[in-house]
Amino acid sequence: MVSSSRTVKGKHVLITGGAGFIGSHLVDLLVLEEVRQLTVIDNFFLGTPSNLNGAYRQMPDLRVLHIDASDECVVREAFSRMEAVDVVFDLAVIPLPTSLERPQFCFETNVRITSVLCELLREGCFETLVHFSSSEAYGSARSIPMSEDHPLDPLTPYAASKAASDHLVRTYAATFGVDALVVRPFNNYGPRQNDQQYAGIIPTMLRCAFEGRVFTLLGDGQQTRDYIYVTDTARTALDLYKCSQARGKVVNIGSGQEISIIDLKTKIEQILGRTIPSQYRDPRPGDVRRHRADIALLKSLIAFEPQISIDEGLTRTVEFYRKRADHTLIGEH
Ligand SMILES: NC(=O)c1ccc[n+]([C@@H]2O[C@H](COP(=O)([O-])OP(=O)(O)OC[C@H]3O[C@@H](n4cnc5c(N)ncnc54)[C@H](O)[C@@H]3O)[C@@H](O)[C@H]2O)c1
């Protein structure tokens, strides 16, 4: 493991997509880091202001700009009005499920967001870009575990947008020598993941459980994922920024473990103490079959060990959505 480090202390940190799932947990971490200024850019496509409630309590001068990160003019204008930015964590995204209904919108928006930030970085509007990729860029595993050298073979327009954005960031680093890092998380889970339209599988399963509806499992349930708890991802991305040797690299963030969707469902049912009525349907188009991260590079750069086990993380997640369901029910009466 390498040791040299940099800091966010005293810096102006900007987070695109900071009102979303992973972004809001990253904001929670950064408010504890003595940053000079923290700015969020989010257009609330899926993120919500309430995801930032805790951060506001800690840092009342947290700035949230309700703007579209893919609109170059608007983003340039925002940068020209604010105090100099040091580092941008780029998490704004149109998610995978949207790409199955609106492929062009998803692809173009995601690539555009990255392209706008790359240009501003090249022009010196900020110093460092930490871009969030996704394991979806790999497609289904050709070899296990999946290292950063695994071919990029995206299966959905969302995955194509993630792969294209990664290439763009890397070419800007190679061509213009800008300071950019690509972190590539595997599947995240935990509190604040969107559970409405375009929701992921865990929030969908839990909503069905709490609303007494039948859960539809797409495929045979034997597809696997490498799940990592959201606060572990946020902390690891920040640690990678702090690690000077990670500059210019693409680095996987995962647990290094894989779990099938059917086993995941069984674990959730054990926590709930009951089964979730389910029906099986055809696999989702472009569903990857197998994912497990190779985290050797990550471990060579920082002292990485997931702090939250899958059992603990799922218990916390179930409690979060249970409370949310209770609030919704109270609100309805
Ligand atoms: N959730 C996962 O399992 C996972 C896994 C791997 C990688 N990632 C990556 O992590 C990042 C964050 O993902 P997430 O799960 O937190 O997603 P999310 O949908 O919860 O958050 C994304 C945020 O971006 C905002 N946004 C969307 N379009 C925007 C635009 N044009 N301008 C400004 N804001 C916009 C949304 O409102 C939302 O708050 C993404 O880059 C995603 O690809 C996520």
Give 213-260 pLDDT, tens digit per residue: 999 999 999 999 999 999 999 999 999 999 999 999 999 999 999 999
- Residue 183: closest CA among 302, 290, 94: 302
Between the CA of 90 and the centroid of ligand 1 the distance, in Å, is 9
Looking at residue 216, its amino acid is T
Between the CA of 219 and the centroid of ligand 1 the distance, in Å, is 25
Residue 5 is predicted with a pLDDT of 85
Looking at residue 89, its amino acid is F
Is the predicted pLDDT of residue 331 greater than 60, yes or no? no
Q: How confident is the model at residue 329 (pLDDT cuts 50, 70, 90)?
A: low
Averaged pLDDT, 1-30: 92
Domain boundaries, the chain: 12-188+229-256+288-307
Structure confidence by residue, pLDDT tens digits, 262-294: 999 999 999 999 999 999 999 999 999 999 999
CATH 3.40.50.720 fits 12-188+229-256+288-307, yes or no: yes
Ligand 1 neighbour 145 (Cβ under 6 A): no
Ligand 1 neighbour 252 (Cβ under 6 A): no
Looking at residue 31, its amino acid is V
Ligand 1 neighbour 42 (Cβ under 6 A): yes
What pTM, to 2 d.p., does this model score? 0.97
Residue 1 is predicted with a pLDDT of 66
CB-based burial of residue 90 (10 Å sphere; 0-12 exposed, 13-18 middle, 19+ buried)? buried
Residue 333 is predicted with a pLDDT of 46
Burial 116-138 (b: 16+ CB within 10 A, else e): bbbebbeeebbebbbbbbbbbbb
Atom of ligand 1 nearest to the CA of 132: 41
What is the average pLDDT value for the chain, to the nearest integer?
96
Ligand 1 neighbour 46 (Cβ under 6 A): yes
Q: How far is CA 88 from the centre of its chain?
A: 14
Ligand 1 neighbour 69 (Cβ under 6 A): yes
Residue 328 is predicted with a pLDDT of 76
